[in-house]
Structure 1
């Protein structure tokens, strides 16, 4: 499956009435971070920008991808399930209408702290969104006054190719990003999971594996099977999504089959339902589970996100930082404040 993004097909992120003024060309960067163990500073050609919660912007090779868009401000509330609401504690690094042009959205699941009502009302209905089958059903439902029209669903280990959005290319290859849905589970296994399946209180969720690399000629000219095998990957990013450390995650290293993960964005926070004051059930990884995921995936660098923006988070970032020190992993973790950017290099001699 392909999603081709070219200068002529690039769609505006927002509806005209939601765009306050002229669209900026760049993000407002507060601080820049690079690989903690590399001396190649200044030669990076790609980046991840942290807006807040699970909202980031990935840039490389002419692509600009927005993850889990949530742009509410401190004091705003979101609905997370029957009888469950949460208040935002922080402001995003940039507002929705201040974003530069984007190419697509990666939406891990249909929850208001990842896709708030302001975002849903403001987005152009033709803007490309890659998400779960469940979220696609919600976004394209005929029951909505204006359904979204460019939603692409990926189940676990299904992939889509993003073809180069600009004319950036070498003599022999073109930048391509392959996005693959990764397993995730937002509810603990057992009785609670069976009950949630019945009530549909907490939506299904995906993680993502992004392979940044090069395709010989035009990826769109190949069939899916050939294109998949001929993509020469120069950098891999794993985004955990809102998952617990469950057995399904152990399928990821098996699927990778020895392939290396360069960067992991891990959703932490130890999100509790109905809230931190009454923590009946945890639905995202806490610090301990985040460490377990590092040991499972073995990424070169880990960046924690989704850890303090809402009042349902029970596991603060400091817990994760303490465990990272105890495990001797300080040189494998980069911490971003909202508005910070991590820059990295996509290898040309792809593996």
Structure 2
């Protein structure tokens, strides 16, 4: 069994599973630029990637939760996609990318990359009815002999019954949860990713042995940072299950 992760920034992770090297939601642009997120919303990148594209090495597949927001796929990330023989993403995203190796999945559809079984999981990137604004998103479940157990990557989602359904179908070992309580001035109190309270709810429902928060800094649309999540996990008695990654540092997981 061999499983390591390097947190490059926001939702960008380099997962090394046995001999396979997987990259999630590639965003490698430098900080300072403001990006439109649709319907009059925008966000500015405030920090750059902890690992430059030039140091990535071989990528066997990209797991792309969605292709239409720059904190999940920016210009530099899009430019590196041709280096990956496979891109696993939403059905709509696969059509838009035009990548010859793109595989579009609906929730609970599966594909394989090497010895890994990859299942798309439901994600809702906002409140009920937000699909026309936020677009299609998926998370991922990874299963294989090189892993300590099923590995869940939530993608950008709030808590809803689709996440609860994941907990009913899988015995999750490791859960990467996209936090940050994303919100925009234009849409007021509406949220588009887990806040700390929902992250606890998801962690408890999934009963994951290892909880890894990601997607909580580096952009101005985040409304909660790691401090709120640390407090919430601690109050819920989950602190001993949480692993906080140091950006750029290769971390073994077991």
Determine if the TM-score, normalized by the shorter chain, exceeds 0.5.
yes
Distance 1:88 1:289 in 2: 24
Helix, strand or coil at the partner of 1:321: helix
CA change 1:262–1:342 in 2 (3 A) is farther
CA change 1:126–1:57 in 2 (3 A) is closer
Counterpart position of 1:244: 158
The answer for unaligned runs of 5 or more in structure 1 is 1-43, 141-147, 164-175, 215-232, 346-351
Counterpart position of 1:22: none
Q: Is residue 187 of structure 1 aligned with residue 126 of structure 2?
A: yes
Counterpart position of 2:95: 137
Q: Is the 8 A contact 2:7 2:248 kept in 1?
A: yes
CA change 1:287–1:238 in 2 (3 A) is same
CA change 1:76–1:205 in 2 (3 A) is same
Q: 1:234, CA displacement in angstroms?
A: 4.7
Counterpart position of 2:216: 307
CA change 1:104–1:266 in 2 (3 A) is same
Counterpart position of 2:72: 114
CA change 1:125–1:65 in 2 (3 A) is closer
Distance 1:54 1:284 in 2: 12
Q: 1:61, CA displacement in angstroms?
A: 1.6
Q: 1:126, CA displacement in angstroms?
A: 6.7
Q: CA RMSD in A?
A: 1.8
Counterpart position of 2:136: 204
Q: 1:138, CA displacement in angstroms?
A: 1.4
Distance 1:151 1:283 in 2: 26
Q: In structure 1, which of residues 226, 248, 254 is the aligned counterpart of residue 168 of structure 2? A: 254
**Higher normalized contact order (CA 8 Å, seq sep 6+, divided by chain length):** 1
Helix, strand or coil at the partner of 2:169: helix
Counterpart position of 1:64: 21
Distance 1:67 1:115 in 2: 9
TM-score (norm 1): 0.68
Distance 1:274 1:212 in 2: 42
Q: Is the 8 A contact 2:174 2:212 kept in 1?
A: yes
Deviations 1:131-182 (A, max 9, x none): 0011112112xxxxxxx2210011111111122xxxxxxxxxxxx1110001
Deviations 1:278-321 (A, max 9, x none): 73421001101100001110100101000011100001110010
CA change 1:243–1:118 in 2 (3 A) is same
Q: 1:125, CA displacement in angstroms?
A: 7.2
TM-score (norm 2): 0.93
Q: 1:274, CA displacement in angstroms?
A: 4.2
Q: Is the 8 A contact 2:164 2:202 kept in 1?
A: no
Counterpart position of 2:227: 318
Helix, strand or coil at the partner of 2:151: strand
Distance 2:196 2:84 in 1: 38
Task: Flag the structure with larger Rg.
Answer: 1
Helix, strand or coil at the partner of 1:160: strand
Distance 2:41 2:151 in 1: 32
Q: Is the 8 A contact 1:261 1:298 kept in 2?
A: yes
Deviations 1:50-91 (A, max 9, x none): 000000011022100000000122212222112222111112
Helix, strand or coil at the partner of 1:323: helix
Deviations 1:185-222 (A, max 9, x none): 01211xxx1xx44xx331211111100227xxxxxxxx
Q: Is the 8 A contact 1:205 1:242 kept in 2?
A: yes
Helix, strand or coil at the partner of 2:120: strand
The answer for unaligned runs of 5 or more in structure 2 is none
Q: Is the 8 A contact 2:62 2:84 kept in 1?
A: no
